[in-house]
A and B are shown apart, each in its own frame.
Chain A
Amino acid sequence: QSALTQPPSASGSPGQSVTISCTGTSSDVGGYNYVSWYQQHPGKAPKLMIYEVTKRPSGVPDRFSGSKSGNTASLTVSGLQAEDEAVYYCDSYSGSSNFGVFGGGTKLTVL
């Protein structure tokens, strides 16, 4: 069971949009609509931003959106704000292990 693949870094200027990818296999991301995204600020616990690929928990701004195509899920942050600077992790159910698997994390920098 390998970790999902995320780019180590991403960046954008305030007001711009940025998309972070999360690539797995047909046994995890591609096979199930159970991809979650978490935001983690330094020294803090992660926070759920997206679940079931596209759904937002209450309180999460609609600037955050999720999608999936094939074995790759994506998190898009629109209208970037300074407080969006954080590390983002994807997480998917894996049918091969009947458990979860995280991505390696993407550090988002707001320029």
Chain B
Amino acid sequence: QITLKESGPTLVKPTQTLTLTCTFSGFSLTTSGVGVGWIRQPPGKALEWLALIYWDDDKRYSPSLKSRLTITKVTSKSQVLLTMTNMDPVDTATYYCAHRDQLERPLAVDIWGQGTLVTVSS
């Protein structure tokens, strides 16, 4: 059974850097075709892709946020980290971790984490 869980601060101040951790189980990020991504959702608003990393360390970023984002994987710990610099109140959102298997369900997110709400406020 695949599970993902997000962790990190619930409150950050403007201009600070946010680091979120996705800890997963039930699969390995060394398996061909597998990817883990981050998606966010401001309160009452739509989903937005942020970043995604594949088993071969291929990384994809939202074009509009690319300069602020870094995604990395720690395979030995079954974790994927997302850092977002220069946080602003508009970045207040629920941040979801997501599993993708390019071989089974290409370019779809088949398993989602529960999400973690991050509030940006001074």
Taking Cβ atoms with an 8 Å cutoff, the residues of A that contact B are: 1, 3, 34, 36, 38, 45-48, 51-52, 55, 57, 89, 91, 93, 97-105
Contact = CB atoms under 8 A, between A and B. Distances in A.
Given A34-B106, A45-B114, A52-B108, A97 B46 contact: no
Interface of B: 46-49, 52, 60-64, 96, 105-110, 112-115
* Interface residue SS majority, chain B: loop
A99 B61 contact: yes
Residue of B47, B52, B96, B106 with most partner-chain A CB within 10 A: B47
27 contacts: A1-B64, A36-B107, A36-B109, A45-B113, A46-B47, A46-B109, A46-B112, A51-B106, A51-B108, A52-B105, A52-B108, A57-B105, A89-B47, A91-B47, A91-B108, A97-B63, A98-B60, A99-B61, A100-B49, A100-B52, A101-B49, A102-B46, A102-B47, A102-B48, A102-B49, A105-B46, A105-B47
Contacts of A52: 105-108
Given A1-B63, A104-B46, 13 more contacts: A36-B108, A45-B115, A48-B105, A48-B110, A51-B106, A51-B108, A52-B106, A55-B105, A91-B109, A99-B60, A102-B47, A102-B48, A105-B47
Contacts of B48: 102
A31 B92 CA distance: 33
